[in-house]
Amino acid sequence: MTDAKRITIKQLLDSLLAECVALGASDIHLAPGLIPHFRWQGEIRSATGRPVTSADDTRSMAAELLGRMFRHGKEVVDLDAVLAVRGSIDGAMSAQDGARFRFNVFSRQGEVSIALRHLENRFRTLEELGMPTSLYKLCDLRDGLVVISGPTGSGKSTTLATLLDRINRTRSGHIITIEDPIEYLHTSIRCVVNQRQIGLDAPSFNDALVDSLRQDPDTILVGEIRDLDTIRTAIVAAETGHLVFTTLHAGDCAGAVERLVSVFSANEQDGIRRQLSLVLRGIVAQNLLMADAADRPPRTARCVAASEILMVTPAVANLIATGKSAQIYSAMETGMGSDMQTLEQDLARLWMSGKISETVAVGMARNPAVLRERVALLRRDRVQPERESGGRNRR
């Protein structure tokens, strides 16, 4: 790419990033032969007044994004070579105004397309995320394993960033994050924070995690544990006095336990269950739901977090150790005093408070009949004080 061409591409990319921020859009989509598109308030819309993006432009912008991520703007990445091996590339970078973007460059029919996601430039509180503030207790732990699970796009990284920011502001220590890519940038406040990116600072999650144990950490964030070696090392790190946070693709808390165990061979699984029962401190399974209440216009739709929370009490630890994951839900339903909740309990709360519609709540519930039972209990608990108050007023 010539210097003149690179300057033009840089200007085009910067203007698109700036427009995304100014619009309050969440995503940018770039594809050969199409006008750039933004996702705004949940809808994909074409960028007004923008020309069609050529195949050469998308390829050049992809190279520019990778160059910014790896070498502060120098084009040193062989885009075609990387795409030939993986088919797509994840990354993150900062725009001129400091706005943070995550991107995915992917090949399609011999050409290159790009999807960019505008990330939050500040850390939200649990209240702002719609998550229980009791989760802050996880930030006070000195060791153990904490898992945030859920599907892609459910806000796992945002929740983790909130918890790490809490630790950074309330405790002294050394925080190491291992991510692919680095999404939220943490500035050292009370803690020393070192953030490492896979592919740039370390070849793999497991290599970086093994290295981190020699770097005097107090808290370790592993962006995702997806293979046997990384899970094993994370358990060892938690056993040896470190607080380990990680994410996992699992739909619920019991499923997260089984996902961690199932990676190991059959003859190892009993031992892994016992280890998990000792080091696992909590699992948060979360989903983002579209709040499509009947009185809300579609263009003002917003997302609401629904969560399932498992805190590992001695009773829960025993269920994990003995492979009785099916009984975990019963322990969660009776463990609200231990800050636990099932998905149906949270969906019932969101439905009753008007934050989501009945349709959304029933569609998300694993067991709609149980959900309706929880709603009936909430209605009864709400009506009872009103009746008692009315009786006193009449007397």
Give the pLDDT score at 84: 83
140 C-beta neighbours (distance < 10 Å), count: 11
The average pLDDT across 280-287 equals 97
The average pLDDT across 84-99 equals 86
Percent of the chain with pLDDT over 90: 71
- The rounded distance, in Å, linking the Cα atoms of 104 and 69 is 12
Give the pLDDT score at 170: 97
Q: Is the pTM higher than 0.75?
A: yes
Mapped to the 3 state alphabet, what secondary structure does 321-386 carry? HCCCHHHHHHHHHCCHHHCCECHHHHHHHHHHCCCCCHHHHHHHCCCHHHHHHHHHHHHHHHHHHH
- The rounded distance, in Å, linking the Cα atoms of 188 and 152 is 28
Q: Average pLDDT of the chain?
A: 89
- The rounded distance, in Å, linking the Cα atoms of 37 and 30 is 7
* pLDDT tens per residue, range 127-141: 999 999 999 999 999
Question: Do the beta carbons of residue 64 and residue 41 sit within 8 Å?
Answer: no
Give the pLDDT score at 291: 73
* pLDDT tens per residue, range 151-194: 988 889 999 999 999 999 999 999 999 998 898 999 999 999 99
Q: What would the DSSP string read from start to end of 150-203? A: -STTSSHHHHHHHHHHHHHHH--EEEEEEESS--SPPPPSSEEEEEEEBTTTBS
Beginning with the edge strand found earlier in the chain, give each strand of the sheet holding 111-118 in spatial order: 43-46, 37-40, 27-30, 111-118, 100-108, 88-94
3 state SS of 250: coil
Give the pLDDT score at 382: 77
Q: Is the pLDDT of residue 371 over 70?
A: yes
Q: Which domains does the chain show, CATH number per domain?
A: 3-118 (3.30.450.90), 126-341 (3.40.50.300)
Most confident of 93-107, 128-142, 291-305: 128-142
Give the pLDDT score at 85: 78
* pLDDT tens per residue, range 63-91: 899 888 775 444 456 788 778 878 888 88
* pLDDT tens per residue, range 308-325: 999 999 999 999 999 999
Task: Select the more confidently predicted residue: 232 or 301.
Answer: 232
User: Which helix H or strand E contains 263, and what residues bound it?
Assistant: none
Listed in sequence order, the residues at least 6 apart from 78 whose beta carbon sits closer than 8 Å to its beta carbon are none
Q: Is the pLDDT of residue 357 over 80?
A: yes
Give the pLDDT score at 75: 46
Cα dihedral angle (134, 135, 137, 142), rounded to 10 degrees?
A: 170
Q: What would the DSSP string read from start to end of 46-86? A: EPTTPPPBPHHHHHHHHHHHHHHHHHTT-----HHHHHHHH
Task: Report the half-sphere exposure of 260 (CA within 13 A, side-chain side).
Answer: 36
The average pLDDT across 353-375 equals 94
Q: Is the pLDDT of residue 299 over 80?
A: no
